A and B are shown apart, each in its own frame.
Chain A
Amino acid sequence: MSQETQPSDIGQYPEGDNLKHFIENRKRGGLVWRVSFQIATILAILALIALLYNIINGAFGYVAIQNKVDPNSLVLAMEENQMLSSSGTVSSEDDNELVDGIEGNPNAIGFFGYAYYNDNRDKLKAISVDGQAPSRETAESGDYPLARPLFIYSAADIMQENPAIGAFVDYYLTNVNSVIEDVGYFPISDDLLNEATTAWSAAAGEQADALQAYTANPAEVSDHDISISGSSTVYPLTRQLAIQFRRAGFQGGLDLQQTGTTAGFRAFCEDMTTGISNASRPINRAEIEACESNKRTPVEFRVGTDALAVVVSSENTFLENVTKDELRQIFTSAETWSEVNPDWPNEPIERFIPGADSGTLDFFAETVFDRQLEALTEPELIEILKANLSTGLLRRFDAEAPLVERSQPELVDLVLERVVEQQVVQSWELTESIFDRAEIEETVAAIPQGELQWRSWLTPAFLVTPQSSTPELAGIRTALFGTLWVIAITILVALPVGVGAAIYLEEYAIMVANPTLRRINAIIQTNINNLAGVPSIIYGILGLAIFVRAIEPITSGMLFGVSDPTTANGRTIISASLTLALLILPLIIINAQEAIRAVPNSLRQAGMGLGATRWQTIWSHVLPSAIPGILTGNILAMSRAIGETAPLVVIGASTFITVDPTGPFSKFTVLPIQIYQWTSRPQAEFRNIAAAAIIVLLILLLTLNASAVLLRNRYSRRLS
């Protein structure tokens, strides 16, 4: 090598401006790569976000809930029952008995229709409620708490198409005040009656005159039928007027039902089976919308006022006014007057109330108690359960957890689930819920008894409830236990075997001198590397052939005498675990080999140089140093096993199972199979709970991984 060689003889490097451009060009080349890497990273992040969005979108959002049984009516029935069953209560359908009982008894109290009190003013005294004395005026204005308006509803097109109805409504308004007091209600003021008549005229339109003529002579519209349903409170009044209408000559069909106000509106607006609807409350927005969607505009006619009088005997000197709260106590729990109010005498309360079948009792309970299901006490909730569930079912619940020991919210849930039978009829995704709120509200308003509720499908209850065919009642308890069992056994099997194999291959196999053995070891190594890439379904087929079929006596637990007849076919947790263990074994071996190989040789030499045996060196120095790497491989393997579905489907994991696995020989299901099964159901709600289950699976995975990472970090720290 001669030092004198001139570089210019063999070539040259760029200099000056060329150099500048050359460097810039190289940098530009690097920039292109950098940007493409950035784009790749961003794409990966976007994919991740899309995935999370999809899951979270499904797991939260609005739902429309429909009750099979109105919870308010449950509360009402329970409260009425309480009233009727309190000691010292006399109840009768005959108001005269009530009057007779109260009369002359200073400790007696009762209530009934105001009209009836009016007839017995000489013997009885009506008391104020919340400072309002009962009278026609306070009742009509609504100031008196125990009063309610009475309506009938019809519609312009009905009245015009069916003159019998048009005429009957006119007849109703003309004659209502002459019969109403006989029925027991307050007549309305002339002003209100005029308003109603005006409304009728407007609805009748051009046919007003013709209809009025029919009113005078109903016989002429006998070729039409009248169908009425709705409030049972308005019913006696309408009935009275219907009888008179018939007497006046109407010959057509007259169908009068008492179904309750809400059902009445449903028949009137949705089913359109009635032409007139009786109502003891004004029509609500949802019902108006339901009507209008059927091209029916309801017209309201106020026909009277209903009021209850709370009465005591004229001899009673201490009671002038009561609050609603006092009324509640007087008619339920209190035994003496002084219990309710210390100023009152320490005498027993004697109660006289209308019987269970009367609408008066309903109205009283509804107005005075006015409580929601959620506000009831535990004994009250248990009472509802006892009144509505079969003894067998009650006994079952009592066996799960004694009812008396359950908390109030638990009991409310049980009532909602079993008695009210709340059902999700429609569900919306998170984004829809946020951005299309108005539209959703409209849809829900159209659902009878529908209620809009914000729902997280992922709840603590979801985790601890077993599978169910009703999505809102279904949980993942069984699948969660299944997954934990399967993974635990899988790791218990695969980790020691895998690490053992890695130690053999890395520490012992390389020392083998025999060429045949060396070749065998090389073949084993190649096979392990290839096994890591075998599709998981093939492991499933292997597991089916070996663990489920060939060694069934072992995997079904028969050999150990713990066989469960339903799983004696070997489709058990242990079969699944062994299959998954086989599946992840190559992964664990390869990673453990890497980790062991990464331990510096100097450490082995140090150990052996001190007179340690090979195993002592491995155990004390190589393995501790390799553990972080082994754990990393274990994390990967565990993640793979948790998410594996195909092989478990092949070896026959249960798709519907509600019994917790109790051990390695139980039948089972796991989270991915549960999720798969739910996503393939037609009902949208199953996709919501599938999303919630995916979140649980992800959290479980992250938790397991995080604990492995923590463990690994602790080891790494200890070593340095």
Chain B
Amino acid sequence: MSTNGTPTSNGKYALDLQDVHCYYGSFRAVKGVNLKLQEKKITAFIGPSGCGKSTVLRSLNRMNDLIPGGRVEGRILFRGKNLYDPDVDPVEVRRRIGMVFQKPNPFPKSIYDNIAWGAKINGFKGNMKELVEQSLRSAALWEEVKDKLDQSGLGLSGGQQQRLCIARAIATQPEIILMDEPCSALDPIATLKIEDLMRELVKNYTIVIVTHNMQQAARASDYTAYYLMDKSDRAGELVEYGETDQLFTNPKDKRTEDYITGRFG
């Protein structure tokens, strides 16, 4: 029914989506996604608005649970275990699979507390100052904020706020970081910084990013998945998944080609 697939790779899979269907109440938003996400690679989800790419992303750390009526069918295997098994606690899932949102959303607290809070509630024992510094360094923010750690996170610029959110996600030491259009609210320079940061982070983390920006997907990602809404039942589906270079230069599906060449819509 869909041309899902998995590109050949030597790497291990971080997540394995098997026939995933996402529902909001009785409405099926995404249907039949089969996808294996490569470990320590950047995978980009692209597609037009309403194609279900964000829904799929949120289902990866059970953030969809937070939406009234949100529910997922199918299996998403993480370390060989289905994330949606009844004995899996979504709280633990979210600690392992961090998330960065479209709009920078630091807590209305100090920069330090923004990072320390997540560590604290997850029971981190150790040198909190060190953890904060390390996280901020990993997010390439340390040099900019090291003198004002006690100031409100809301006082930073948009790009800095987004990097603070990344640092916050890193601090809980997840394995996968999900990014939901992290640069859509940022200017081009801030966007480039985030992309550089992603390239740096991918050495240690698996990154999944949803983006509207095809150049960004082409520039920054290793793999790309293209989603499109099936006009017959308004459910999103995975059209094509492959190595980014290959997908952009030599798409297999006509619909993918239409989209990346701008002939879509």
Q: Do A and B come from one complex?
A: yes
Measuring CB to CB, which residues of chain A are less than 8 angstroms from any residue of chain B? 510-511, 513, 600, 602-613, 616, 620-621, 624-625, 719-720
- Given A612-B121, A720-B154, 12 extra CB contacts under 8 A: A605-B105, A608-B63, A609-B61, A609-B99, A610-B118, A610-B122, A610-B172, A611-B118, A612-B118, A616-B121, A621-B107, A720-B108
**Nearest opposing residue in chain A for B178, CB measure:** A609
Decide: B107 and A608 in contact? CB cutoff 8 A: no
Task: Kindly state whether residue B168 has any CB partner on chain A within 8 Å.
Answer: yes
Q: Give me the 5 closest cross-chain CB pairs, A-B, nearest first.
A: A611-B95, A610-B118, A602-B105, A609-B99, A719-B108
Interchain CA distance A621-B66 in the complex, whole Å:
16
CB-defined contacts of B118 to chain A, threshold 8 Å: 610-612
Interchain CA distance A609-B93 in the complex, whole Å:
9
**Nearest opposing residue in chain A for B106, CB measure:** A606
Interchain CA distance A719-B109 in the complex, whole Å:
7
Q: Give 1 or 0 for each of B165-179: 1 = CB within 8 Å of chain A CB.
A: 100110010000000
CB-defined contacts of A613 to chain B, threshold 8 Å: 91, 121
Decide: B169 and A610 in contact? CB cutoff 8 A: yes
Looking at the assembled complex, report how far the CB atom of B87 sits from the nearest CB atom of chain A, in whole angstroms. Answer: 17
**Nearest opposing residue in chain B for A510, CB measure:** B68
**Contacts A511-B68, A605-B63, A720-B154; is A610 near B95 (CB within 8 Å)?**
yes
Decide: A609 and B101 in contact? CB cutoff 8 A: yes
Decide: B108 and A606 in contact? CB cutoff 8 A: no
Decide: A606 and B101 in contact? CB cutoff 8 A: yes
Number of interface residues of B (CB under 8 A): 27
CB-defined contacts of A511 to chain B, threshold 8 Å: 66, 68
Interchain CA distance A720-B109 in the complex, whole Å:
8
Task: Kindly state whether residue B98 has any CB partner on chain A within 8 Å.
Answer: yes
Most chain B beta carbons < 10 A, residue from A608, A611, A621: A611
**Nearest opposing residue in chain A for B115, CB measure:** A610
CB-defined contacts of A621 to chain B, threshold 8 Å: 107-108
CB-defined contacts of B103 to chain A, threshold 8 Å: 602
**Nearest opposing residue in chain A for B93, CB measure:** A611
Q: Which residues 226-260 of B sit at the A interface, judged by CB distance below 8 A?
A: none
Q: Which residues 80-119 of B sit at the A interface, judged by CB distance below 8 A?
A: 91-92, 94-95, 98-99, 101, 103, 105-108, 117-118
Contact of B168 among A600, A602, A610 (CB under 8 A): A610
Interchain CA distance A621-B114 in the complex, whole Å:
11
Looking at the assembled complex, report how far the CB atom of B94 sits from the nearest CB atom of chain A, in whole angstroms. Answer: 5
Looking at the assembled complex, report how far the CB atom of B29 sits from the nearest CB atom of chain A, in whole angstroms. Answer: 17
Task: Kindly state whether residue B152 has any CB partner on chain A within 8 Å.
Answer: yes
Interchain CA distance A608-B118 in the complex, whole Å:
10
17 A-B pairs with CB atoms under 8 Å apart are A513-B69, A602-B101, A603-B107, A604-B66, A605-B66, A606-B168, A608-B66, A608-B94, A609-B94, A610-B94, A610-B168, A610-B172, A612-B118, A612-B121, A620-B121, A625-B108, A720-B108
Interchain CA distance A201-B122 in the complex, whole Å:
115
CB-defined contacts of B121 to chain A, threshold 8 Å: 610-613, 616, 620
Interchain CA distance A603-B122 in the complex, whole Å:
17
CB-defined contacts of B68 to chain A, threshold 8 Å: 510-511
CB-defined contacts of B168 to chain A, threshold 8 Å: 606, 610
Decide: A611 and B101 in contact? CB cutoff 8 A: no
Interchain CA distance A370-B172 in the complex, whole Å:
90
Looking at the assembled complex, report how far the CB atom of A117 sits from the nearest CB atom of chain B, in whole angstroms. Answer: 94
CB-defined contacts of A611 to chain B, threshold 8 Å: 91-92, 94-95, 118, 121-122, 172
CB-defined contacts of A602 to chain B, threshold 8 Å: 101, 103, 105
CB-defined contacts of B98 to chain A, threshold 8 Å: 609-610
CB-defined contacts of B122 to chain A, threshold 8 Å: 610-611
Interchain CA distance A442-B63 in the complex, whole Å:
85
Q: Which residues 147-183 of B sit at the A interface, judged by CB distance below 8 A?
A: 152, 154, 165, 168-169, 172
Interchain CA distance A604-B94 in the complex, whole Å:
13
CB-defined contacts of B107 to chain A, threshold 8 Å: 603, 606-607, 620-621
CB-defined contacts of A510 to chain B, threshold 8 Å: 68
Interchain CA distance A611-B176 in the complex, whole Å:
13
CB-defined contacts of B61 to chain A, threshold 8 Å: 609
CB-defined contacts of A720 to chain B, threshold 8 Å: 108, 152, 154
CB-defined contacts of A616 to chain B, threshold 8 Å: 121
Looking at the assembled complex, report how far the CB atom of A614 sits from the nearest CB atom of chain B, in whole angstroms. Answer: 9
**Contacts A612-B91, A719-B108; is A620 near B117 (CB within 8 Å)?**
yes
CB-defined contacts of A609 to chain B, threshold 8 Å: 61, 63, 94, 98-99, 101, 169
Interchain CA distance A611-B118 in the complex, whole Å:
7
CB-defined contacts of B91 to chain A, threshold 8 Å: 611-613
**Nearest opposing residue in chain B for A616, CB measure:** B121
CB-defined contacts of B63 to chain A, threshold 8 Å: 605, 608-609
**Nearest opposing residue in chain A for B123, CB measure:** A611
Decide: B108 and A624 in contact? CB cutoff 8 A: yes
Looking at the assembled complex, report how far the CB atom of B151 sits from the nearest CB atom of chain A, in whole angstroms. Answer: 11
CB-defined contacts of B117 to chain A, threshold 8 Å: 610, 620
Looking at the assembled complex, report how far the CB atom of B262 sits from the nearest CB atom of chain A, in whole angstroms. Answer: 21
Looking at the assembled complex, report how far the CB atom of A598 sits from the nearest CB atom of chain B, in whole angstroms. Answer: 13
Looking at the assembled complex, report how far the CB atom of B185 sits from the nearest CB atom of chain A, in whole angstroms. Answer: 11
Most chain B beta carbons < 10 A, residue from A513, A606, A608: A606
Interchain CA distance A605-B94 in the complex, whole Å:
11
Most chain B beta carbons < 10 A, residue from A511, A513, A612, A625: A612
Most chain A beta carbons < 10 A, residue from B91, B103, B106: B91
**Contacts A609-B63, A611-B118, A611-B172; is A603 near B94 (CB within 8 Å)?**
no
**Nearest opposing residue in chain A for B99, CB measure:** A609
Looking at the assembled complex, report how far the CB atom of A97 sits from the nearest CB atom of chain B, in whole angstroms. Answer: 95
Interchain CA distance A620-B69 in the complex, whole Å:
25
Looking at the assembled complex, report how far the CB atom of A519 sits from the nearest CB atom of chain B, in whole angstroms. Answer: 15
Interchain CA distance A662-B168 in the complex, whole Å:
53
Interchain CA distance A613-B61 in the complex, whole Å:
14
Interchain CA distance A510-B67 in the complex, whole Å:
9
Interchain CA distance A317-B105 in the complex, whole Å:
104
Interchain CA distance A719-B99 in the complex, whole Å:
23
**Nearest opposing residue in chain B for A718, CB measure:** B108
Looking at the assembled complex, report how far the CB atom of B65 sits from the nearest CB atom of chain A, in whole angstroms. Answer: 9
Interchain CA distance A607-B98 in the complex, whole Å:
11
**Nearest opposing residue in chain B for A625, CB measure:** B108
Looking at the assembled complex, report how far the CB atom of A503 sits from the nearest CB atom of chain B, in whole angstroms. Answer: 16
Contact of B165 among A604, A606, A719 (CB under 8 A): A606
CB-defined contacts of B94 to chain A, threshold 8 Å: 608-611
Interchain CA distance A513-B61 in the complex, whole Å:
20
Q: Which residues 24-49 of B sit at the A interface, judged by CB distance below 8 A?
A: none
**Nearest opposing residue in chain B for A610, CB measure:** B118
Q: Give 1 or 0 for each of B53-85: 1 = CB within 8 Å of chain A CB.
A: 000000001010010110000000000000000
Looking at the assembled complex, report how far the CB atom of B102 sits from the nearest CB atom of chain A, in whole angstroms. Answer: 9
**Nearest opposing residue in chain B for A611, CB measure:** B95
**Nearest opposing residue in chain A for B171, CB measure:** A610
Most chain B beta carbons < 10 A, residue from A510, A604, A607, A609: A609
CB-defined contacts of A719 to chain B, threshold 8 Å: 108
**Nearest opposing residue in chain B for A512, CB measure:** B68
**Nearest opposing residue in chain B for A612, CB measure:** B121
Interchain CA distance A607-B101 in the complex, whole Å:
12
Contact of A603 among B69, B92, B105 (CB under 8 A): B105
Interchain CA distance A621-B117 in the complex, whole Å:
11
